[in-house]
Amino acid sequence: RMQSSRSKLCSCPSLKLREVVSMYLTMVAAFLVILVVALQGSAPRQSDFPYKVPLDPQGLLELSWNVSYPQQAVHFQLLIRELQFGLLFGMSDRGEFENADLAVLWSDGHNSYFGDAWSDAKGQLHMDSQQDYQLLEAHRAPEGLYLLFRRAFSTCDPKDYLIEDGTVHLIYGILEKPVHSLQAINTSALHGGLQRVQLLKPNISIPELPSDMKSMEITAPDVVIPSQETTYWCYMAELPEGFPKHHIVMYEPVVTAGNEALVHHMEVFQCSAQFDSFPHYNGPCDSKMKPDRLNYCRHVLAAWAMGAQAFYYPEEAGLAFGGPGSSRYLRLEIHYHNPLVFKGRRDSSGIRLYYTATLRPHDAGIMELGLVYTPVMAIPPGEDSFTLTGYCTDKCTQLALPAAGIRIFASQLHTHLAGRKVVTVLSRDGRERQVVNADRHYSPHFQEIRMLKELVAVFPGDELITTCTYNTEDRSRATVGGFGILEEMCVNYVHYYPQTELELCKSAVDPGYLHHYFNLVNRFNDEEICMCPQVSVPQQFYSIPWNTFNRDVLKSLYAFAPISMHCNKSSAVRFPGEWEKQPLPSITERLREPVPRCPPSPEPQPAAPVPLNLGQLRRD
C-alpha cells in the first residue's frame, strides 16, 4: 500500500513569509493527496472486475475493468507481472503515443511516482494540470504489482480522452531504465504497443437460460500457430446427420490457456444450403490448398473479439440452425496475432454454442445495411476524412417489415482497411430519432458483434442510414468499393427479431449519374482521359487527376444524386417494385451531438505526481 513519506524542510536563509506560507501549503496539499490515496475506501474488490484483456503479446500486462454508469466512470485494475522501472498506460485516437492521455508510473531507481499526463504532437510528456486518473490502490502480490485507478468517462479537460461507446485504443509502454522525471521519458524509444477494446460494455441483465440447454464446441483441433505475425486459420465442422432445428441462445469463447494474447478474434460461419456437402479443411484461409467451396460459408452464426464476453440472445428470440433448408456445415475462422513470432505454439481455440430444442417465440435474423459492394462508390486518394453513406429507405421497410416492426438487439460494423468511423441512425418522418450503433474510433482490426444498450424498434416506413468515414492519406489512387481488402465496404450487420424475408437493405449511387460525373471530369481536364463506357468503372476512377475540383464534385454527387436501392430477400432477389433512380431520403432534423457531462469538480489537486512506496525496483 502507499505510504506517505515525511518531507524535511531545509533551513534556507532569508525566506520571506509569503514564500514560507506558499511552501507550507504546497506540502500540505501533497500530503493530503497521498493520504486520500492511501485511505481511499472506494477501491473495488478484485472480484469486481468482470472484463479482462491482456495488453501485450506475452501476457505480462493484464488489464481488468468495470463500468459504473451511475458514476459515469471506469475502474481499472492493471496487473504488472514483471515490473521494471514503470509503465505508461492510456488512450489515444488510433493507438499512437502522440496526443495521448496517459496514466504514468515511473521510478528513478529509489522513489516511485504515479501521475496523470498527456503527450503532445511530438510525443513529449507533460504532467496534466488536472489529475483525472485517480489512483485508488497499489499493492504487490505473488503474481505481480496491482494498480487500481479510476477515470471518469468525460473530464472536460481538453488534454483528456473522451471515453465513449465503441472501440477504444489502449496504449502501453514499459520503462526499462530509471528516469528522473516525467519529461525525461522518451516515448519513441519505449517498448510498447496497443490493444483495442470496447471499454463501455452495455449494462445488460443476463436472460434466463432454458433448462434443456446443450452446448457444442466448434474448435480447431491442435493447430500449430504459424510463426508469422498474422494468420487467418480456417476449420470445417459438421453438425450431426439429421440435426433438427434448434435455437442458439448464447455463445462464448473457448481460448486455449496460455494463448490469450495470440487469439485475436474468431467467427463461426454457416455454409450455403445450395450445396449438399463441403470438403473437410483445417489450414490457413489464404492457402492455395483451401477448397473454393469454402467461400460459400459466409452466414455469421457467432463472432468474438479479444476482450468480449459471452453473447446472449434476448429471451424472446434465438438464432436458428439445423433443420430443413439449413446447411450442416460450419466454418470456424480464427485470427492469430503473433507479433513476437512464437514458434511451435499449439492451439485448440474456438467458440462454444449453447442451444435449445425448445424454440423461442421468434427466430432472430441478420440484415445487412449500408452500401452495396460496387465500384461506383469510391474514395479519392489522400483524404483524411471522406464519408460515404448507404440507405435503407422508407419504401423498402414499408414493403418488407411487419406492421409491428422489428427489434434490433445487436450490431456488427464492417469496413476494410481505410475505415475510421461507422454510424447508423434511425430516421422516421424525415427526423433522425436515435443512433442504432456508432463507433467513432472504429478499427477494421477489431470487429465484434456488440449487444446494444437498448432494443431499437424499427417500423414500416422508417429509414436506416449508415455513414462510413475513411482515411486514404497513404494511398496514391482511388479506393473503390468491392470485396478486395484494398477495396472498401460500409456495412452494418444488424441482429434483430422477428426474422423477416428482408436480408439486405443497401444502396449505391445511380450508375448513370456517375457516368455524367466522368464526362464532366473529362471536359474540365487539360489532358485527355478516356472516360468511355467500355472502360471499367475502377479504371475510370484510377485515371482521374485528383485536384480539388474533381474531389468536391464527387462529394457533391454522392450528396444529391439518386440511388439504386437493393431491397433484397434472402434469395438475393429484390422485392417487387421500382428501385432504380430513387431519391435520397430527405432529413429535416438531425440528432444533436451529445454534450459530454462533466463530473462535479473535486477540490483542485496540485499538478504533482503521487509518491508511492514500492520498494527497490528491478535493475537489469
Which CA distances in Å does 67 have to 73, 145, 172, 396, 402? 6, 22, 21, 39, 37
Catalytic choice (126, 337, 414, 445): 414
Q: Specify the DSSP class assigned to residue 519.
A: H
Among this protein's residues, is 110 annotated catalytic?
A: no
Place of cell 509503465: 87
Best CA proximity match to 310, nearest among 268, 253, 265, 350: 253
Question: For the chain, how many helices (H) and strands (E)?
Answer: 5, 37
Question: What is the DSSP pairing of strand 386-392 with strand 491-497?
Answer: unpaired
**Could you tell me the three cell numbers for 150?**
479510476
> Do residues 443 and 169 lie in contact, with contact meaning Cβ atoms separated by under 8 Å?
yes
Among this protein's residues, is 280 annotated catalytic?
A: no
Helical spans, DSSP H, in 180-266: none
Place of cell 535493475: 619
Length of the chain: 620
DSSP 3-state of 20: helix
Please report which helix (H) or strand (E) contains residue 87, including its range. Answer: strand 86-92
Is residue 381 exposed (0-12), middle (13-18) or buried (19+ Cβ within 10 Å)?
A: middle
E-assigned strands of 120-213? Answer: 125-127, 134-141, 144-152, 167-174, 191-198
Best CA proximity match to 567, nearest among 559, 578, 575: 575
Q: Which residues of 66-89 are buried (b: 16+ CB within 10 A; e: fewer)?
A: ebeeeeebbbbbbbbeebbbbbbb
Catalytic choice (232, 296, 513, 542): 232
Please report which helix (H) or strand (E) contains residue 422, including its range. Answer: strand 419-428
Cα separation, 270 vs 353, whole angstroms: 13
Place of cell 425448445: 358
Long-range (24+ apart) CB contacts under 8 A made by 589-593 are 589/430, 589/431, 589/432, 590/432, 591/425, 591/432, 591/433, 591/434, 591/435
Place of cell 479519392: 380
Q: Is the previous residue joined to 533 through a cis bond, with omega within 30 degrees of 0?
A: no
Give the catalytic positions in this structure.
Answer: 232, 414
